[in-house]
Amino acid sequence: MKNTWLRLLAALFSLALVASACGSDSPVDDAVEAVDEAADEVVEEVTGDDDEEAMEEEAMEEEEAPEEEAMEEEDKPVVTVTGPERDESEAGAIQEVLGAFGEANGIEVTYTGDADWEANINVQVEGNNPPNLSIFPQPGKLADFARAGNVVPLADNVVDGMAWSEAWTVFGNVDGTQYGAPVKADLKSLVWYKPAAFEANGYEVPTTFDDFVALTGTMIADGNTPLCVGIESGQATGWTYTDWVEDMVLRQHGADVYDQWVAHDIPFNDPQIVESMQTVLDLWATDGMVFSSGGSIAATAFQDNGQPLVDGDCMMHRQASFYSAFIPEGTAFADGSEDAVDVFYFPDLNGDAPVLGAGTLVAAFDDNEATMMVAEYMAGAEYAEARQKAQTALKGGGLSGFLSAAEGQDPSVYAPLEQSFLQILQSAAIVRFDASDLMPADVGAGTFWSEGTSAVNGDQDAAEAAEKIEASWPS
């Protein structure tokens, strides 16, 4: 008797296995279907009210849903957009701007910001449930998706509509095809300082890297601490150091070496790279150079350098444009007042003014007309302006934290400090994307951070760290 049951169970099991194996034999069709379904789903969710009981009932009685209403809504194409930007002002601004665009063009656009974007986009693609558009913070990830055939090339209208210079659009170009269009820029080659403190001590903003080093020497001689440095950032501890190194590689060895370094055409422990790593270490190790509120560089959170800068514990802090979010509340930015904080361009060595940047790119998972229309809009200057306005309003004035290098924006929508960011961005001939975002994750989000941190702690020198990082490069 028991054997009969066993046999039946075995039969059921094998049937289930076969079914699950066959379930996904045509991923492309499934993906297309899934997009349509995801779209229908959103329509249904939108038509229902938020009352939980209503939602419950609606899901239960899906078949009995009022058909007319559903039909009406279904005529309107739906475009879902996901991305890593999720806090209130950012996600709110994107939704507001895209929603308004959609309304004017008869498209239902929904933006979803996602704290776990990197993992989720993989899951959604694997699960045949991708959004229509997604905003990629890493060109490397976009390239992986493009080569795997998960994202589709941008339609001609999107490519033609990109208002960004070649220096930026190249990040969305994979093997000669444009898969991504830039939608946001971050500027990393910046030094934050207090103009009033500089004036009181008679310091001048340095225009070459040698001036910068000389200035730090003067500051130490005067009894001031030149730099605030802290590289602690939880699991990502060390990324601030990698940004410094990247800026130094660009300055000391130029964009070509930088590109070879990123592409692994030269090994990570190439003498030129080691030199740049060591330059940063030596600079930080100079007596009296660094103020770290947490005791040591590696124990100080990168977010905790705003207060000491404002308090005058240090004179300068090299950090990206988004750092305005960590300057204590109530501090004025670049308005000439006594306590105001301003930035200057992290000076270069030989006048070629390279800029280390980062940013996001929008890429499409299908080539529906509505999807491409939204992508085209996002790649243009109009979107950047509208988002800047919306985000400033949501922040309640001051700095929005948003920056775009799209050409043709009206600079007056930006605050004065952000206008200076814009100027640096738009005048830069050499823009390079954050190398650690371009390298394989094992290195760029792994050993480069961890070995770098241990070098900053003085446990090893740059050559040893570089050698270990090179050994970890996936072959």
Partner 1 sequence: MTAISNKGGGGVGKAIYRVLGSIPTGVLWFLVIVWSIPTFGLAVNSFRGRDAQRNAGWWNVFSDEGGPTLNNYEEVLTSSSTNSILESLANSFAIAIPATIIPIAIAAFAAYAFAWIDFKGREWLFIATVSLLAVPLQVALIPLLQLYSGGAHLTLPWIDKTLTLIPDFGLAGSSAAIWLTHTGFGLPFAIFLLHNYITSLPKDVFESARLDGADHFTIFWRIVLPLSVPVLAAFAIFQFLWTWNDFLIANTMAGSNPEARPTTIAIANLAGDYGRNEHLLGAGAFVQAFFPLVVFFSLQRYFVRGLLAGSVKG
Q: In one letter, which amino acid is 121?
A: I
Residue from 113, 140, 195, 230 touching partner 1 (CB under 8 A): that is 113
Q: Name the segment binding partner 1 (CB under 8 A); options: 119-127, 205-213, 335-343, 378-386.
A: 119-127
Q: Please state the closest distance from residue 48 (CB atom) to partner 1, in A.
A: 9
Q: How many residues bind partner 1 (CB under 8 A)?
A: 69
Residue from 11, 18, 100, 200 touching partner 1 (CB under 8 A): that is 18
Residue from 65, 73, 76, 86 touching partner 1 (CB under 8 A): that is 86
Q: Does 11 bind partner 1 (CB under 8 A)?
A: no
By CB under 8 A, the residues from 127 to 166 that bind partner 1 are 127-131
C-alpha distances out from residue 43 to 39, 47, 65, 77, Å: 6, 6, 12, 9
Q: Does 124 bind partner 1 (CB under 8 A)?
A: yes
Binding to partner 1 by CB under 8 A, coded x per residue (else -) over 398-417, reads: ---x----------------
Q: Does 52 bind partner 1 (CB under 8 A)?
A: yes
Phi and psi for 44 in degrees, rounded to 5? Answer: -60, -45
Q: Please state the closest distance from residue 9 (CB atom) to partner 1, in A.
A: 7
Q: Is the Cβ–Cβ distance between 19 and 113 less than 8 Å?
A: no
Q: Does 418 bind partner 1 (CB under 8 A)?
A: no
Nearest to 142 by CA among 168, 114, 181, 116: 181
d(CA 405, CA 382): 12
Sequence-distant (≥ 6) Cβ neighbours of residue 468 within 8 angstroms:
447, 451, 460
Q: Could you write out the DSSP letters of every residue in 69-133?
A: HHHHHHTS-EEEEEES--SHHHHHHHHHHHHHHHHHHT-EEEEEE-TTHHHHHHHHHHTT---SE
d(CA 415, CA 222): 34
Residue from 7, 10, 11, 41 touching partner 1 (CB under 8 A): that is 41
Q: Is the Cβ–Cβ distance between 76 and 106 less than 8 Å?
A: yes
Q: Is the Cβ–Cβ distance between 27 and 358 less than 8 Å?
A: no
Q: Name the residue nearer to partner 1 (CB basis): 134 or 189.
A: 134
Q: Please state the closest distance from residue 298 (CB atom) to partner 1, in A.
A: 17
Q: Name the residue nearer to partner 1 (CB basis): 92 or 444.
A: 92
Q: Name the residue nearer to partner 1 (CB basis): 46 or 285.
A: 46
Instruction: Tell me the β-bridge partners of 364.
Output: 133, 152
Residue from 394, 413, 441, 463 touching partner 1 (CB under 8 A): that is 394
Q: Is the Cβ–Cβ distance between 127 and 352 less than 8 Å?
A: no
Q: Is the Cβ–Cβ distance between 110 and 162 less than 8 Å?
A: no
Residues that bind partner 1 (CB under 8 A): 1-2, 5-6, 9, 18-20, 22-25, 30, 33-34, 37-38, 40-42, 44-46, 50-52, 55-56, 59, 62, 80, 82, 84-92, 95, 110-116, 120, 123-124, 126-131, 303-304, 306-307, 322, 325-326, 328-329, 394, 401
